[in-house]
Structure formats: structure tokens, C-alpha cells
Structure 1
Amino acid sequence: MILERTIAPVFAANCYVLAPAPAGPALVVDPGAGSVRGAMALLRSNRLALGAILLTHGHADHVWDTAALIEAARAEDMLAIADPLAPEASVPVYVPQPDLHRLDDPDASTAISANGMGFADMAGTAWRRPADVRAFPAEGFGAAFEILPGLGLQAIPAPGHTEGSTLFFFNSRLADNYLLTEVIDDDPGHADEEHDYLMALAGDVIFKGSVGRTDLPGGDQVQMWATLRLLASAVSPETILLPGHGAVTTMEHEHHGNPYLAEAKIRGGDRNA
């Protein structure tokens, strides 16, 4: 499996590229503002074609360059499926159902500003809604949904950062991978051996040592506590978390090093706590 990351320059949002194998279709996750150049470089270096895009939630810093990435891939003839009758709709863009509305105007619905500038000002481009936006299928919340051939994702709702925030779990078989060096100390003598991993695209639900903020539109602190307590009890400690910002981590590390997770284990969704 191919697992790569580039970092969008606006708010340092992680953008991931996943593919079952080289020279095939790829899934790009959370193409934030300014991520097109890095994402395209990763696609080229692995001889991949853009097959689908997944948005872990609808905040502006995770969705902004979605249309621009599709256009760039089309310009270089790097789309996995091209419909000559509707080329703008040849890449499905999946987002959790409760956050669909945010793609109408992510700038307004995220309400992020800095130094008097809205998100569009910081990005330097206007928002363009992708043509083929779809709710992540309901079936993917009960069993793995094959978003690309050979790549299945199983979703778990994780509201709190936004109404639609979701974790997407998948199994991967990887040998030496630079992202895994952030969390796994392998024996150098076994660097070329492949290992099976359970991974989760965590969006802005949980970070290494922190969690997503709940003071933006759609945020709910009590929901976040409930979500974190559920994850603490239900997710295997060996699970590798691919967060929306910052370093890769594991659920085990967060049990020991995340004060917000520790608090959630106690409060756990009690509005009177």
C-alpha cells in the first residue's frame, strides 16, 4: 500500500495520499489550501491517478483546494476515470452527511479569521464547490466501503469538532514508511519487511497530545467528551492515528499522553459534569 502526506501551507493541515498499489487510482484526503502542488507531486512520483477525494469534515482548512486538485489532475491527464460528457464530475468527493452543508460556503460555515482576514483571504483564492460531492455512504458506517478498488474504509461518527466529524478506519500492509517512523521504532534490519496495521484517518477529532477545538460553528464540547470516551474504550491501542494536523500518533500513546482524552474518560458526555 502507498501512504504519503503533504502539508497545506494554510493552517498546516495534513493532506494524505492513499493507494492500494503504484500506477493505479489514489484517494486524496483533505486537500487544504495550498496542498495541490504537494499532492500532485506525490501522485506523479507513484504514477498514480486521482480516483476519489475524502473530506474528514467540512471545515475550510481541510476542503479548500478540492476543486483545484481535480482541475490540476485533469490538466495532466491524471484522472482515474474521465467522463468525456461531464469531465468536471469524474472525481467523487465524499464528506460525512452532517457536514455536507459546509461545502456551500466553508469560509462562512467555519468562521476562521486571523488579523482581520477570512479564510479566502488567507488562502488567496475563492471557494469553488466541487461538482460531484457525495455523502459518505451509510453502509460505510457498518462495514467497510470500498472507496477505491482494493481500499475499504469503515467510518465511525465522532461529533464534537463538527457535527459530521468522522474517523475512517482501514487496514494497510506497509514496509518502511517515513510516516510510521513518527510512532514506530523498527529494527533497522527488518525495515524492508511488510507489516499489517490498523489505521484511522482522524481529521480534527484527536491529535498527538491534543484534540480538535469545539468553539467553532458545529462544535460541541460535551459531544467531544462523549466521542473521546467512546474512542478510548472501543479503539484498539495499536491503531495508528493519521490526524488532520501535526504528527502521526497511536491510540496507545494518547491513552498515556493526552490530557483531553483523560478528562473525557471521566466526564464522558455528561452535560452536568
Structure 2
Amino acid sequence: MDWTQLPLGPLATNCYVLSHGKECVIFDPGSEGETLAKWLDENSLRPLAILLTHAHFDHIGAVEHIRQTFNIPVYVHKAEEQWLENPELNGSNRFGLGAITASPADFILHLEEELEIGPFQFKLYHTPGHSPGSLSFYFEEGGALFAGDTLFMGSIGRTDLPGGNHQELLNSIHNKLLALPEETIVLPGHGPATSIISEMDSNPFLNGF
């Protein structure tokens, strides 16, 4: 199984495509829906689902285009069930980019459980702090964590947006993510990939926690 990082949109939000053969799942199609659809077609990939680590505007901008193009379902956490339709909640009204919306998700996630989609299996971790419905998807087979805006290389998610909470974010990282195997690759919503052990050793936001 392979994953590809595709930075999209004005904030270079990382969309990830995790593929196995010709089947794939898409994490956080944040913008440039036509570009993403073309890339999928050029690589002869058949998407099975869109998985959202959270529903901030920069992670959902291409949701509707990709959903309709490939006729696939969207998954989001229950705490952000209303955010796709609401530009006040998803934050798009705050940044002068116009209202960014999508239709309601097809599947609402609320338990920390195993999620199986086609050949892909994930362990779900609810990791609030950056946003109330932030999810991290642990792909154990590939040793990778799709972490959204919870944990970055040398940094952590911002907590100054509605529903953000700095201490809650630190708790999520410490109790959920740092408990994963140290060699786990962390695939963040912005910037380069990192690893659990690298962030344990050098992330200044986690030192002394």
C-alpha cells in the first residue's frame, strides 16, 4: 500500500491518497477538486471514500467535487457533523475566501473503533484540541498516522479558532498519539511528514509536558 501527499489550495493543505492496487481512500481534499480528480484519473485510481480529519474550510473545499465525480461517501466526526454546511463553523467566513461548504457527510464517526473500507483498516483516535471533532486515523499496516492538524513537524495545531483548546490538544497528543509505536510516520495536515519518535525528542511544544 502506498500513500501520496498532495498539497492543495492557498494554505497548502495536505490531501493524502492511500492506495492499494487501483483502490484508494482520500484524506482531506481541501481544494483544487479538478486537479485532484485529474491526478486520480491519470493514476488509474478508484476512490472508495473521503475521510476527514476535521472539517475546517481548508480541509473540505474539494469534498463536493470529488464526492460527486466519483460517487463516494464522506466520513466526519459527530462533533463537526454540522460544519460542512456552515461557513461560520468551518471558518471559511473568517478568512475572506468566500463561503466554503459541502453537503452533509454520509457517515458520522463518534467511537474510537476500527474502521474498514475496502482493503483498508484504520484505528480511529478522537484527538480534540485543534477542533472538537479532530480525528487521527492510524493505519497500522503501513505504520502511518493521518493526523490532520493535531501534530506537525516541530509544532502542534493552532487552538485559537472556535472550539480549540490548548490543554485538550496537548492531552490528545500525549495520551493518544505518543502512545503509538515510536517509528510511526506522522502525516500532518500541513508541512512535511515526521515521526512519533522525532516529535517526542525535539518538538518544543511537547517538551516538559
Any gaps of 5 or more consecutive residues in structure 1?
74-78, 80-89, 121-125, 173-196, 266-273
Deviation at 1:232, TM superposition (A): 5.6
Which consecutive residues of structure 2, in runs of 5 or more, have no partner in the other structure?
A: none
1:85 — aligned with what?
A: none
SS in 1 for 2:31: coil
- 1:63 offset after TM fit, Å? 0.8
Distance in structure 2 (CA, Å) of the matches to 1:31 and 1:15: 5
TM-superposed CA distance for 1:150, in Å, is: 0.7
Superposition map of 1:13-162 within 5 A: 13-22=13-22, 25-34=23-32, 36-71=33-68, 73=69, 79=70, 90-105=71-86, 107-111=87-91, 117-120=95-98, 126-130=99-103, 132-136=105-109, 138=111, 141-142=112-113, 144-147=114-117, 149-162=118-131
The CA deviation at 1:243 is 0.4
CA deviation after TM superposition for structure 1 residue 97, in Å: 1.2
Letter in 1 for 2:97: F
Partner deviation per Cα, 1:27-71 (whole Å, 9 max, x = no partner):
11101122x244223312331122210110011100111001233
TM value normalised by structure 1: 0.71
Summarize deviations over 1:65-101 as a string: whole Å, max 9, x none: 1001233x3xxxxx3xxxxxxxxxx411001111112
Q: Which of residues 176, 183, 190 is equivalent to 1:238? A: 183
Q: Classify 1:9/1:233 alpha carbon distance in 2 versus 1 (closer, same or farther; 3 Å).
A: closer
Contact persistence 1:52–1:91 (CA under 8 A): yes
Mapped to 1, the partners of 2:60 and 2:42 lie a distance apart of: 23
**Which residue of 169, 189, 192 maps to 2:138?**
169
Whether the 8 Å contact between 1:29 and 1:55 is mirrored in structure 2 is yes
Q: Choose between structure 1 and 2: higher strand proportion.
A: 2
Q: Which residue of 2 aligns with 1:220?
A: 165
TM-score (ref. length: structure 2): 0.91
The structure with the largest alpha-carbon Rg is: 1
Contact 1:240/1:249, CA 8 A, preserved across alignment: yes
The root-mean-square deviation of aligned C-alpha atoms, in Å, is 2.0
